[in-house]
Chain A
Amino acid sequence: MVACNCGCDDELTKQLDKIIDPYRGNPGGLIQVLTKAQNLVGYLPKWVQIQIAEGLGVSLQEVFGVITFYAFFSLIPRGRHKISVCAGTACYVKGTKMVLKTLRELLDIKPGQTTPDSRFTLEQVRCIGACGLAPAMIIDGKDVHGRLEPEIIPGVLEQYA
């Protein structure tokens, strides 16, 4: 077999096929397939998009259109841990600016960027619904850290290698 140089990975290709199988020929499953594919690969590179487009029977343009519409999907690799700083109203009035400033200083990256060691990706999200704990952030989509102050943020980050 000739090695392909598009960046795809044999093992991942097979697993991606398994994700696509229940939705084959069913364009309605596009968002669900993309969500699972991103969980598998970490982001959505072109080879993943092509495989999904062919599998579901939609155009590549449509796949790209959906990916770029939703904030959850990423075209570029992300860090091992995703820090989502809540920028909802309650957090905003209680100190989102401070949280972001502290994180920018600690990690030396801006929202949307990933640290050079691929440990953290920093982003801002619109309300995680933890307004009672404002200001808050959520790490890896599940761990909510609330009542943040500049002094406690380094300790929070230490929990994520």
Chain B
Amino acid sequence: MKSLDELAKIKESRRAALKIREGVPSATEKAHVMMCGGAGCISSKCLEVVDAMKEALSKNGIAEQVQIILTGCMGPCDMGPVAIVYPDATFYRRLKPKDAEAIVEEHIMKGNLVQRLLYRAPGAKEPTPKVTDIDLFAKQKKIVLRNNFYIDPTSIEDYIANDGYAALGKALTQMQPAEIIEEVKKSGLRGRGGAGFSTGMKWGFTAAASGSPKYVVCNGDEGDPGAFMDRSVLEGDPHSVIEGMAICGRAIGAEQGYVYVRAEYPLAIERLDYAIQKARENGLLGKDILGTGFNFDIEIRIGAGAFVCGEETALLTSIEGKRGEPRPRPPFPANAGVWGKPTVLNNVETWANIPEIILKGAAAYAAIGTEKSKGTKVFALAGRINNTGIIEVPMGTTLREIVFEIGGGIPRKKAFKAVQTGGPSGGCIPADYLDTPVDYDSLGALGAIMGSGGMIVLDEDSCMVDIAKFFLDFVVDESCGKCSPCRIGTKRMYEILDNISKGKGKEGDIELLVELATTIKATALCGLGQTAPNPVLSTIRYFRKEYEEHIRDKKCACNVCELEE
């Protein structure tokens, strides 16, 4: 593809071919079956359902009139395998290979919905057939996951059909680099990796930095346990990340990008690698992109299993093939990043927001969210909650809406106890604060953090001392060992907690934990150490009584800790 005109033509013809996915019946095709191909549904054996469906279609002689598309993660992992059948947008769940025949022969051929496979809201007698009517989806706002119900992640034409690469075209032909940066600044987008720094300012610093060449890096080292948003984006819509990075390349004057992905995500790596190849073949990466003279290309770097590499300076060091140890800042990556050159480093989700901001404008984006946190946020809901999976909501949505309305509440009529956000750097928020609007600042004020978006729900059977111990065990294991507050301090904290959880705690232990935690926060080298004590501090703040029961009464009310006599 050598010009914007060609891009527009592909969009037009593909869009027409995909009308059926917007609900418009087609003269030549009976249905498009969008089968969720996220890692969750794949492990629930959705591929066997696909095979069975293909067989049923051939048997009935309509294989040519029905497309089966494996999409990215649709979100509701616990209902997997799930599928949406267009044009009527019927949502089916918990599919088994034997259900394929019914969908083909009843639904697709006769137009009768297969009642037993439809979604039913908790407590509702009647099913909700249409995907857009289901509460879980209706209450969401999709920007980052805009394509997840609509495109085949392995088809660049599908991506183009839904305005893909139009933002890159706009950035290359209608905007000066400074204007792009200004637009991103005005959108109010803040880093979705968790720290929440202004993305536009970061780009501005890098553009202004002396030194060349410059680099664009994507952090896909999603290491927080309980977080799988980035994985869903990379698997479901890899081109959105590629496009976002290319736009940044134009804005800061970089020609090379790197995506750093965890080795634990093989499917994400495969889909991204394929997308990069397709973008190159179509002239959307490489030399002279869209005939504008702009050059940009991307390489994948695969992480090798070190949590600390999610920290920006550690990640950059790891890209260079070294031990991924963090280093003090400044200099910040904007001045000295990969190979010591000016570098923009953003998280997967941040990148996926960029095309939408450039295409629809900063004002439209900034209209969503709260005063200081704009746009949407993708969360991974897991733990003791009915609807586990991926959701995307406007910033400012309350925890109660997320947990009880979208998440469907707590299973087995148990009581909600807390929600843990931000993984090992975050904290536990108790029931009293369920009406808190979720944004960077309000979560920070509660002693938790937004983090990358993992939300683990805990119920009355979860022991908070045990949870705190779990996170410290994680940190002790993953501390790189370079600075002593983190290496030694977290280890000592773990030992104290371990004693408490075994009924060997002493008076003064809680105060000692707080003192150690405060010192580590103030003195550790990088973000990992500086935030490592948060899970302990927040559980002491809200659940001090549980600590005291373990210490004084040698008792774990939840019966989780194994107390020694």
Residues of chain A having any CB pair with chain B under 8 Å: 27-32, 34-35, 62, 65-66, 69-73, 87-90, 92-94, 125-134, 136, 138, 141-146
Contact = CB atoms under 8 A, between A and B. Distances in A.
18 contacts: A27-B320, A28-B319, A31-B301, A35-B304, A69-B306, A69-B480, A71-B305, A71-B306, A72-B305, A93-B458, A94-B383, A125-B264, A126-B223, A126-B307, A129-B227, A130-B43, A136-B43, A145-B43
Contact of A129 (B42, B228, B420, B467): B228
Contact of A90 (B43, B44, B322, B383): B383
B321 A131 contact: no
A94 B388 CA distance: 12
Contacts of B474: 126
B382 A89 contact: yes
Interface of B: 39-40, 42-44, 76-78, 80, 222-228, 231, 263-266, 301-307, 318-325, 339, 380, 382-384, 388-389, 420, 423, 454, 456, 458, 462, 467, 470-471, 474, 477-478, 480
B80 A132 contact: yes
Contacts of B420: 89
A143 B141 CA distance: 32
Contact of A126 (B43, B225, B320): B225
A63 B39 CA distance: 33
Nearest to A56: B321
Contact of A28 (B77, B303, B321, B423): B321
Among A29, A70, A88, A94, find the residue whose CB has the most chain B CB atoms closer than 10 A.
A88
A132 B321 contact: no
A72 B303 CA distance: 9
B507 to A, nearest CB: 29
A131 B43 contact: no
A29 B383 contact: no
Contacts of A72: 263, 304-305
Contact of B388 (A31, A131, A141): A131
Contacts of A134: 382-383, 388
Nearest to A87: B225
A126 B478 contact: yes
A150 B423 CA distance: 27
A93 B322 contact: no
A77 B489 CA distance: 34
Given A88-B226, A90-B382, A134-B382, 9 more contacts: A30-B322, A35-B302, A69-B324, A90-B388, A93-B467, A132-B78, A133-B78, A134-B383, A138-B264
A132 B382 contact: yes
B456 A31 contact: no
A93 B457 CA distance: 9
Contacts of B265: 129
Given A31-B304, A32-B321, A69-B324, A129 B222 contact: yes
Contacts of B384: 93-94
B315 to A, nearest CB: 12
Contacts of B318: 31
A131 B382 contact: yes
B379 to A, nearest CB: 11
A89 B423 contact: yes
Nearest to A29: B321
A94 B307 CA distance: 22
A129 B456 contact: no
Nearest to A58: B321
B525 to A, nearest CB: 16
A131 B423 contact: no
Contacts of A34: 304
A127 B225 contact: yes
B231 A133 contact: no
B227 A132 contact: no
Given A126-B307, A127-B224, A146-B43, A92 B323 contact: no
Given A72-B304, A89-B383, A144 B227 contact: no
A31 B226 CA distance: 26
Contacts of A129: 39, 222, 227-228, 231, 264-265
Nearest to B43: A144
A93 B231 CA distance: 21
B78 A70 contact: no
Nearest to A143: B43
Among A35, A69, A146, find the residue whose CB has the most chain B CB atoms closer than 10 A.
A69
B320 A71 contact: no
A128 B474 CA distance: 14
Among B307, B321, B423, find the residue whose CB has the most chain A CB atoms closer than 10 A.
B321
A125 B380 CA distance: 19
